[in-house]
C-alpha cells in the first residue's frame, strides 16, 4: 500500500532529524579520528556512508584535547562502541618539527608563549616551552598511528569496552594497511621476497595440505 511507504519515509526522516533527541546512535556506533588532508577520503577508505560515524579530523590525525573531548562525548553519551584512527602516508606533519613551526611564527611577530590557545577558554594555558609539543609533529606515520591508538586506549575518559584500532591510508595506492605492514616493500626484489621465508620454498614440492588448498582455490576460480 502506498500509505505505508509514505509513513515509512516520514518515520525515517524523523529518526534522522531527531537522532540526538531520540537517543539514536550513528549507524555503525563508530568514532573516527583522521587527518584533515584532502587526499584522505575517510568514507571511501572505511567503506562507510553518511550517517555511519562521527568523524573528527585535525592536522595529522592526532590525539589532542579537543579530540579527547569529542571522543569522550561520543563514547559516553552517544552509544559509540568503536574507534578507528586513520593516519596516512606523505603526511604534512612529517615535513617540519615543532621548533621550526615555532620559529616561523615568531618570525611573523607572533609570541607563541603569550597567546590564548582557546579564545573561548582563556584558563587553558600552555606551560612555558610547551608550544612545539602542542603542534604534535612526528617523523614516522606508522609509529604515530600506534601511539594515537595507545593514547585513546589509556584515556580515562573513554570507556574500556570501546574497541580501538588504527590504520594507515596509503595515498599512493589508495588503500588501507596496518601500521608497518608495507606490502610494497616485499614485492620488488628477490631479497625482500625471501627475507622471511626459505629461499628455496618455491622450488620445493608443496605439502599435501598446500596442494589441497591450491586445488580448492582453482575450483573456486573456475568460471
For 61-83, b where at least 16 C-beta lie within 10 A, e where not — what string?
bbbbeebbebbbebbeebebeeb
Model confidence pLDDT, tens digit, residues 164-174: 999 999 999 99
Q: Is residue 201 part of a domain?
A: yes
Q: Is residue 114 part of a domain?
A: no
Q: Is residue 3 part of a domain?
A: no
User: Is residue 212 over pLDDT 80?
Assistant: no
For 149-180, b where at least 16 C-beta lie within 10 A, e where not — what string?
bebbeebeebeeebebebbbbbeeeeeebebe
Q: Give me the domain span that covers residue 29.
A: 23-96+137-221
Model confidence pLDDT, tens digit, residues 13-38: 999 999 999 999 999 999 999 999 99
Q: Is residue 183 part of a domain?
A: yes
Q: Is residue 123 part of a domain?
A: no
pTM: 0.84
Of 54, 57, 55, 63, which Cα lies nearest the Cα of 36? 57
> How many domains is the chain built from?
1
The CATH number that applies at residue 61 is 3.40.1050.10
Q: Is residue 15 part of a domain?
A: no
Q: Which three cell numbers stand for residue 98?
A: 615543532
Q: Is residue 179 part of a domain?
A: yes
Q: Is residue 116 part of a domain?
A: no
Model confidence pLDDT, tens digit, residues 131-149: 999 999 999 999 999 999 9
> Mean pLDDT throughout 49-66?
97
Amino acid at each position: 500500500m502506498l500509505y505505508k511507504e509514505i509513513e515509512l519515509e516520514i518515520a525515517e526522516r524523523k529518526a534522522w532529524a531527531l537522532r540526538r533527541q531520540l537517543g539514536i546512535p550513528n549507524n555503525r556506533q563508530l568514532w573516527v579520528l583522521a587527518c584533515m588532508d584532502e587526499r584522505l577520503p575517510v568514507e571511501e577508505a572505511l567503506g562507510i556512508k553518511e550517517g555511519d560515524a562521527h568523524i573528527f579530523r585535525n592536522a595529522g590525525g592526532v590525539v589532542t584535547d579537543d579530540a579527547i573531548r569529542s571522543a569522550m562525548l561520543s563514547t559516553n553519551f552517544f552509544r559509540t562502541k568503536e574507534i578507528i584512527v586513520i593516519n596516512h602516508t606523505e603526511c604534512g606533519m612529517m615535513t617540519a618539527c615543532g621548533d621550526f613551526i615555532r620559529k616561523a611564527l615568531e618570525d611573523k611577530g607572533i609570541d607563541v608563549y603569550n597567546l590564548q590557545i582557546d579564545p573561548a577558554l582563556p584558563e587553558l594555558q600552555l606551560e612555558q616551552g610547551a608550544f612545539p609539543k602542542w603542534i604534535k609533529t612526528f617523523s614516522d606515520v606508522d609509529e604515530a598511528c600506534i601511539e594515537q591508538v595507545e593514547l585513546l586506549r589509556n584515556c580515562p575518559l573513554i570507556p574500556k569496552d570501546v574497541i580501538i584500532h588504527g590504520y594507515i591510508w596509503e595515498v599512493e595506492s589508495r588503500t588501507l594497511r596496518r601500521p608497518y605492514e608495507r606490502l610494497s616493500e616485499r614485492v620488488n626484489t628477490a631479497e625482500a621476497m625471501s627475507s622471511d621465508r626459505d629461499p628455496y620454498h618455491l622450488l620445493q614440492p608443496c605439502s599435501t595440505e598446500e596442494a589441497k588448498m591450491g586445488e580448492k582455490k582453482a575450483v573456486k576460480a573456475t568460471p
